[in-house]
Structure 1
Amino acid sequence: MENCCNDKACEVEALQERQSSVLKIVLLINAVMFVAEMTAGLMSGSISLVADSLDMLGDSLVYGFSIYVVARGARMKAISALFKGGIMAMFGLFVLGQAIYRILFPHVPVFEAIGTFGMLALIANSLCLLLLWRHRSDDINMRSVWLCSRNDIIANVSVILAGVGVWLMHSGWPDILVGLALSALFLRSALFVLRGAITELKGINV
């Protein structure tokens, strides 16, 4: 009798189990960092930290939904990608609104909190990216999850730079500019994911 792992169905099942395990780990990491960054962002008055924490929350929801669709068909995975794109767009618009508010009502955030929690978030998301790396080309579900994680790294570095800028300039403008940049990144990624999901759904329906 042939070994089960030589069977295509068994290989797919094993892959799905690995994907699910990885997603559960990154979900937990993002949920913990959401609480930490949101608390620090609200206490320090930092747009960039609040924005990054909301991104962590969005990622937690995304990963949870991704776990649900790991063992499901291509259609459900494409719908999952649509959901992720929608979350990216929603948070992009929210951050844009927060940045505009800070332009109208200036405030100098606490740069120590921005730098410290920005660095912690960078470490956490680097771990997530490393865990997701081998699965980035598995399917549209894991590809969109990996894209979220990659964007998080860019966002974290930007937050750290915002903290440095606030420290050097004694102004809230670096924090605002990073908020605007993160908003643009989220909206651009949302468009990319949504286009891919719509194309996938059209292919399935043909």
Structure 2
Amino acid sequence: MEKNGLTGGRFLLVTVLNVVITGFELLGGLLSGSLSLLSDAFHNLGDALSVILSYVAHRIGGRHQTRQNTFGYRRVEILTALLNSGLLILVSIGLGGEAIRRLLHPQPVKGDVMLLVAVISFAANLLSTLLLNKGSKHNLNIRATYLHLLSDALASIGVIVGALLITFWQISWVDPVISLLVAVYIIYESWPIVKQTFEILMEGAPKLDYEAIARDICALPQIKGVHHLHAWQIDENNVVFSVHVNMDDLPLSQVEPVYRQIEALLCHKYDVNHVTIQAECHRGKDESLFYKQNDWRHD
């Protein structure tokens, strides 16, 4: 936890900030009649739950491998990132619909109350965002939570601008417009995380130059061919890789150094973390680089 700057104390402080600001914005939204404040309040409530889920997932994800989970528990963080981002999109769609309804049927808003609450909310959201900024750079789960908080800070800026326009120029329709713009922005920022987590959970191959990898492996003097290559991700930072290679009929003591060369190549040039290699003499030498369902019938 300390390595990424994600201490339990930071998570606790962020959670407390979000719970307090949620209650403050709910009260301010009801008193002022501001949809953007009410939407931000519900968003903050979701953020508090998101931070709690993120922290629990981060702790579980750090556990060692077991007999039941031989790759460890990193996927818990990916599941949490998907849940957080998916819920954020659903909430944003709901807020966008309410904003459109308010545009069609305008309601009075107390700009002074709205402005005071928005300024305090912005300060709290900005502090929460800064607390999680470091860990968000290397962890998809924390990044999803960080985006929750960043979107709240941006929403608060929009609410402040809207409150100023309402207070000094009585432009009340700006309140639902801000809510709609924030909802669109949140969906725009959250969708890439949903897409990436879904690809990881579906065992999608990471973006690597597989033809180049095959050429590099075949460039080793002992390698005669490469086939049945597989690659997938445990999380956004850990790539698992397996491949079959054709070699001459060598004793195991001579095969192991070749394995180490392949592992070093994949690790240093392509950032692959976990490599499994199967050596064969003639089996599969005419098969494709990527496994096909009926390839085994030709063995």
TM-score interval, smaller chain: 0.7 to 0.9
**Contact 2:37 2:118 survives alignment (8 Å):** yes
In structure 2, what is the Cα distance between the partners aligned to 1:103 and 1:137?
A: 38
Going by fraction, where is helix more abundant, 1 or 2? 1
**Contact 2:5 2:135 survives alignment (8 Å):** no
In structure 2, what is the Cα distance between the partners aligned to 1:42 and 1:23?
A: 29
**Contact 2:109 2:172 survives alignment (8 Å):** yes
Unaligned regions of 5+ residues in structure 1, if any? 1-12
In structure 1, what is the Cα distance between the partners aligned to 2:149 and 2:137?
A: 14
Give the C-alpha shift of residue 184 in structure 1: 0.4
Following TM superposition, the consecutive aligned residue runs of length 4 or more in structure 1 with deviations greater than 4 angstroms are: none
1:48 corresponds to 2:41:
no
- Aligned partner letter, 1:121: S
Decide which moves more: 162-171 or 150-159. Answer: 162-171
Give the C-alpha shift of residue 17 in structure 1: 8.5
Percent identity for Structure 1 against Structure 2: 23
Q: Which aligned pairs between 1:1-206 and structure 2 lie closer than 5 A?
A: 14-15=2-3, 18-71=6-59, 72=61, 73-201=73-201, 202=203, 203-204=232-233
In structure 1, what is the Cα distance between the partners aligned to 2:22 and 2:192?
A: 24
In structure 1, what is the Cα distance between the partners aligned to 2:132 and 2:81?
A: 16
In structure 2, what is the Cα distance between the partners aligned to 1:135 and 1:190?
A: 17
Distance 1:89 1:155, change over 3 A: same
Give the C-alpha shift of residue 55 in structure 1: 1.0
Give the C-alpha shift of residue 28 in structure 1: 0.9
Distance 1:106 1:14, change over 3 A: closer
Decide which moves more: 15-24 or 89-98. Answer: 15-24
- CA RMSD for the aligned pairs? 1.8
Give the C-alpha shift of residue 168 in structure 1: 3.1
SS of equivalent to 1:136: helix
Look at both structures and tell me which one has the larger radius of gyration over its CA atoms: 2
In structure 2, what is the Cα distance between the partners aligned to 1:180 and 1:54?
A: 15
TM-score using structure 1 length: 0.87
Decide which moves more: 167-176 or 111-120. Answer: 167-176
Going by fraction, where is strand more abundant, 1 or 2? 2
Unaligned regions of 5+ residues in structure 2, if any? 62-72, 204-231, 235-239, 241-299
